[in-house]
Amino acid sequence: MSPEAHRITALRCADQDRELVAQVLNNAYAEGRLTFDEHAERIAHAYEAKTFGDLDVLTTDLVAQRRPLPTAVPGPSPQPVVERTAAHVAVPGQFTGGNAVLSTFKPGRIDVVAPEVTLNAWLGEVRLDLVDSTFAARDTVINIGGLMCDVRIRVPEGVDVNVSGTSMVMGDTKVEGTRPRPDGIRINLVGTVFMGEVKVLGPDTKANKYEKFVK
């Protein structure tokens, strides 16, 4: 390994870098390129990773090029492997997702939703309330990966939800009571869930479901 490559792999990674690798692993599992045990082990290592080198070894046999590399490195500029456009890069303070592994992920009030969000729910439960949130992009992607999970998302008026990018294996996706507007926000749910349920609730959902969502 060259000194430059060693310097890059030794750099500390951020939560966003871990989420990018988690999505690669989720996609590989959905495509049958990883077994359940392999995926679970790599996901755990991804969220425990401290450096780009720790993340790199998790995907070297899944992608044609090495990833992830930082978008900016002090000193001489290496060629980035993963291209990120400004529209898909979260800025500090934006909500980028979370994980529910044998647990419940309930972040509460979310101020700003990043253009791309990743949720992992493995034998867990997710409650995502976006009613009082601001969206950083008009088109927002929510990546979902899970097994035997329950994911519920509450959205405000003016939000349209597209679930055509989700694949449910022995599970179900439901969108209830949304009230979209032509100039409103569009949420695209993408990913694969095994033996679980993903439900999106809009303002026209029965009051006892919608108003009591966060209780």
Taking residues 21-49, report their average pLDDT: 83
Looking at residue 83, its pLDDT comes to 41
Does residue 185 carry a pLDDT above 50?
yes
Looking at residue 163, its pLDDT comes to 93
Cross-strand partners of 141: 116, 188
Taking residues 176-180, report their average pLDDT: 93
CB count in 10 Å sphere of residue 168: 17
Taking residues 146-151, report their average pLDDT: 92
Q: ∠151-112-128 over CA atoms, to 5°?
A: 15
Q: In this prediction, what percent of the chain has a pLDDT beyond 70?
A: 81
Q: Which of 148, 171, 20, 36 is nearest to 89 (CA)?
A: 20
> Phi, psi at residue 94, to the nearest 5°?
-80, 150
Taking residues 106-127, report their average pLDDT: 91
Do 96 and 35 form a contact (C-beta atoms < 8 A)?
no
Cross-strand partners of 151: 126, 198
Strands 112-122 and 150-154: unpaired
Digit-coded pLDDT (tens) for 66-100: 444 444 444 443 433 334 444 455 556 889 999 98
d(CA 58, CA 55): 6
Digit-coded pLDDT (tens) for 4-23: 455 557 788 888 778 778 87
Lowest mean pLDDT among 33-42, 69-78, 102-111, 200-209: 69-78
Q: In this prediction, what percent of the chain has a pLDDT beyond 90?
A: 33
d(CA 126, CA 170): 18
Q: Could you tell me the two tokens for 20?
A: 């990018």
Do 14 and 94 form a contact (C-beta atoms < 8 A)?
no
Its pTM stands at 0.62
Looking at residue 65, its pLDDT comes to 46
Q: Could you tell me the two tokens for 12?
A: 């500390």
Q: How confident is the model at residue 62 (pLDDT cuts 50, 70, 90)?
A: confident
Segments making up each domain of the chain, as ranges: 1-84, 86-210
The H or E element spanning position 104 is strand 104-105
Taking residues 177-200, report their average pLDDT: 92
d(CA 7, CA 149): 39
CB count in 10 Å sphere of residue 48: 9
The residue with greater pLDDT, 171 or 62, is 171
Do 144 and 177 form a contact (C-beta atoms < 8 A)?
no
d(CA 68, CA 53): 9
